[in-house]
Amino acid sequence: MQRRTRLVVLVATLAALVVLGACAPTTESAEQPAACVSSPIPTVAVVDFENTSSQGGGVSVVGVEEAATARLITLLKESGCYVVVERSELQTLIEKQGIESLDPVGLAKAAGAGYVVTGTVTRATVARPGGSLFGVTLGQTKAQIEVDVRATDIITGVVVVSMKGAGEASSPNININNVPLAGNVRYDDPTVGPLFAQAANSAISQVVAALRAKF
């Protein structure tokens, strides 16, 4: 009898603990972004990326450099750690002052920036699945993007960040007949565009992490 009483008390205690645990507030486990390195936050001029990805032949991805530039600007702004001088502002400065002959550093200095970020898309490829079995395509369609980005201190002229970012994305659910083997494909192509966007985001995110760790 005494043993049964103890068992009942133990079960009741455990039930109470479960109820309390369910009512307790949850703690957010997501990792918060790191604090800004510089205070006050610096002004950064972002110059349009170049695109050299087609120099090796194969498929040429049109517009990937514009998308990479735009993604970099978006992530820098979202961080809250920079005042960003955008492409349109630089273009307006060029038109108003007639300084199209200035290099990126000189252009950024004229815009009042403390840093200038330049970049090149060095690789942008899309590959079909590698084979088939009994008429069924095996593998995944894959897109890869690589960027080479530099950030230069306007005052000292020193390259403070030189970073290569690489990203890839793949999917088994793409009609391979719509994936080109050569020629041009636009970055926003409805078939493979989402893969390019995902790969570019990964590559640019790596670059932004390097910039945020430095200034």
Residue 70: pLDDT band with limits 50, 70, 90: very high
CA distance linking residue 213 with residue 93, whole number of Å: 30
Angle (CA) 160 165 168, round 5°: 170
Question: What are the tokens at 195?
Answer: 């893969």
State residue 54's pLDDT score: 79
State residue 187's pLDDT score: 86
CA distance linking residue 128 with residue 188, whole number of Å: 18
CA distance linking residue 143 with residue 140, whole number of Å: 10
Report which listed range, 13-27, 82-96, 168-182, is most confident: 82-96
State residue 176's pLDDT score: 63
Question: What are the tokens at 3?
Answer: 């043993």
pLDDT at 171 over 90: no
CA distance linking residue 214 with residue 196, whole number of Å: 28
Rounded to 10 deg, the angle between the 193-214 and 64-79 helix axes is 40
pLDDT at 1 over 70: no
- Mean pLDDT estimate for the chain: 78
